[in-house]
Homo-oligomer: A and B are copies of this chain.
């Protein structure tokens, strides 16, 4: 457990000054022969620059803070996976936090990121920490909101799917199949995803001239098993829906589970479309029609913004990037039962 070599050790051994070693590390102007000598010495001593010392000296770090709600949700897990990948490809590392949708935990994460002088932060905000995010941005830490956005924070970059359009597309698909009683389960209306998806749903319904039964719109929390309850309530209605769109990724499992337990047959009695494709949507019976979010693109753009701003390459005003979700039709959506009233 010998103490690791420092830049001074390298300088002494290579018979140059520390300044030269530092320049070797940072692409400064160094004579090729000197550089080779220094590199060889670093190799020999197993020298690894201490990030802490560098960070102390410089303003910020190349660390990206990743603040997600919950890695148990496959959507966020795969997003994290890609973010780590893209960050690594650009020489950045990822400090991971989860909020479990709790603003207090989110606030804690924000404080920690300030203390560690993160260079950029990629986050799905809970919505409960406007002040915290403002502070972070004020300190010069770039913030990229992914998946969700917060209207009160116009200074953050945003990367998300076109939520309204994607909900509209899913709804239109059911309308085209002949459905009129369509239910929509969304996230809380306090989140942009919840609001925008409901907006898209309404837009498609209105355009088709179909009256919207407000009881068929369920804005439910991300946490807990509310998806099951919502499905239960919908099925218990005097006139249950013939089509259901679950636009709350965190509640898809719970909702599908409830449907499996009920006597309802999919798609014969009820057509189902869920938001976000994942490894198991194709394995259940019947395979589910889904709106697939381009996770790779979300991660790529988020990291590019985060790294770009850290490097100072991007100085313009905040960007709002939208990528389109893709509808994948499988077997869970079909025309409504013929005996249903139109």
Tell me whether A74 is interfacial, beta carbon within 8 Å: yes
**Is the CB of A283 closer than 8 A to any CB of chain B?**
yes
**A232 an interface residue at 8 Å Cβ cutoff?**
no
> Digit string of A259-297 for contact with B (CB within 8 Å is 1, else 0)?
010000000000000000001101111000000000000
Distance (whole angstroms) from the CB of A52 to the closest CB of chain B:
4
B contact residues around A108 at 8 Å (CB): 88
Q: Please, what's the 1-or-0 string for A61-80, where 1 marks a CB less than 8 Å from any CB in chain B?
A: 10100100011101001101
- A93-B110 Cα distance, complex, nearest whole Å: 12
**Which residues of chain B come closer than 8 Å to A280, judged between CB atoms?**
253, 279-280, 283-284
- Residues on B with C-beta less than 8 A from A112 are 93
A49 on interface, CB distance cutoff 8 Å: yes
* A115-B257 in contact given A77-B72, A279-B280 (Cβ < 8 Å): no
Chain B residues with CB below 8 A from A174, complex form: none
Nearest CB of chain B from residue A109's CB, rounded to whole Å: 8
Known contacts A77-B77, A283-B284; is A116 also within 8 Å of B93 by CB?
yes
Contacts of A98 in B (CB 8 A): 81, 84-85, 88
Q: List chain B residues, Cβ under 8 A from A116.
A: 51-52, 93
A135 at the interface (CB under 8 A from B): yes
A154 interfacial by beta-carbon distance below 8 Å:
no
Please, which residues of chain B bring their CB within 8 A of the CB of A70? 81
- Greatest chain B CB density within 10 A among A85, A111, A260, A283 is at A283
Return chain B residues, CB-CB under 8 Å to A115. 48-51
| Complex CA–CA separation, A97 to B53 (angstroms) | 22
A117 touching B283, Cβ below 8 Å: no
- A interface residues, Cβ below 8 angstroms from B: 1, 4, 46, 48-53, 55-56, 61, 63, 66, 70-72, 74, 77-78, 80-81, 84-85, 88, 93-98, 100, 105, 108, 111-112, 114-117, 135, 138-140, 253, 256-257, 260, 279-280, 282-285
11 A-B pairs besides A80-B80, A279-B280, A284-B285 with CB distance below 8 A are A1-B139, A48-B115, A50-B117, A52-B53, A71-B81, A71-B84, A84-B98, A88-B108, A260-B283, A280-B280, A280-B283
Q: What are 30 A-B pairs with beta-carbon distances under 8 A?
A: A1-B139, A1-B140, A4-B139, A48-B111, A50-B56, A51-B116, A52-B52, A52-B53, A52-B55, A52-B116, A70-B81, A71-B77, A71-B80, A72-B78, A72-B81, A72-B279, A74-B74, A80-B96, A81-B98, A84-B97, A84-B98, A88-B105, A93-B97, A95-B96, A253-B283, A260-B283, A279-B280, A280-B280, A283-B283, A285-B285
